[in-house]
Amino acid sequence: MHVPFYLDEAEQRALLADIEAAIAAAPLFQPCMPRTGKPFSVKMTNCGTLGWVSDRDGYRYQPAHPETGKPWPEIPPLALRAWKELGLYPRPPEACLVNVYDLAARMGLHQDRDEEDFAAPVVSLSLGATCVFRFGAATRGGKTQSLELRSGDALVLGGPARLAYHGIARIIPGSSDLLEDKRINLTLRRVTMPPCAATGA
């Protein structure tokens, strides 16, 4: 589900200020590919009780920043509002991955599958430069469609789209008044499985 202009301009500025404060507390780091160690072109940090990291050992969620060892900052209120309004999932998000793109950055086609419960959606918010978002089916190699994500847009991958392959083909220069030639994307996720009501496990 694509919700264009989910955040108005004042909300975008407020969320940006919260993200800048989060980055001051939990500095951006450069993730790299498991095994090969090839660096991502995107820089990252996280908010929430768990943060997504990628290094030579693999992809995982962890409770602390890989360089400072400190817990991640809290998820900004407007991001929590988006999860409540758009996520339609009864439990709060645990992770808010912050991806920062310059004009040369891209993200290859991938599935978000490091979470335990695919019944929970992934809710994304974009700030700054417009990007070309590509998405396809839940199997690799199929056809993809393109969608422009602009500052303030929300995107929800849920239900049958939860495991769709998707990526960022490019960033469009000069497309934003909020951030010059930079794009920030937040993805909110529920990571852990709810306890089983019957067994408590």
Binding site for ligand MD6 (CB under 6 A): 99, 107, 112, 122, 124, 155, 157, 166, 168, 185, 187
Minimum Å gap between C-beta 200 and ligand MD6 is: 31
Are the CB atoms for 135 and 155 separated by under 8 Å? no
Which residues is 110 bridged to in the sheet?
Answer: 166
Residue 68 has, within 13 A of its CA and on its CB side, a CA count of 16
Among 94, 112, 115, 153, binds Fe ion (CB under 5 A): 112
Closest CB to Fe ion among residues 24, 188: 188
Stretch that binds Fe ion, among 14-22, 57-65, 106-114, 132-140 (CB under 5 A): 106-114
Concatenating the DSSP letter of every residue in 163-196 gives T--EEEEEE-TT--SSSTT-EEEEEEE--SPPPP
Select from Fe ion, ligand MD6, none the partner in contact with residue 99, using the beta carbon and a kind-dependent cut-off of 5 to 8 Å. Answer: ligand MD6
Which of Fe ion, ligand MD6, none lies near 107, with the C-beta cut-off 5 to 8 A by kind? ligand MD6
Residue burial 70-107, b: 16+ Cβ < 10 Å; e: rest: eebbbbbebbbebbeebbebeeebbbbbbbbbeeebeb
Shortest Å distance, C-beta 184 to ligand MD6:
9
Nearer to ligand MD6 by C-beta: 122 or 191?
122
Q: d(Cα 131, Cα 60) in Å, to the nearest integer?
A: 26
Closer to ligand MD6 by CB, 39 or 68: give it. 39
Give the chain's largest Cα–Cα span: 55
- Least separation in angstroms between residue 9's CB and Fe ion is 26
**Is position 115 an interface residue for Fe ion (rule: CB under 5 A)?**
no
Residue 124 contact among ligand MD6, Fe ion, none, beta carbon within 5 to 8 Å by kind: ligand MD6
To ligand MD6, the closest distance from the beta carbon of 19 in angstroms equals 13
Between 3 and 71, CB nearer to ligand MD6: 3
Q: Please, which residue, 26 or 149, has the CB nearer to ligand MD6?
A: 149
Helix (H) or strand (E) holding 2: strand 2-3
CB 155 within 8 A of CB 133: yes
**Chain residues in the site for Fe ion (CB under 5 A):** 112
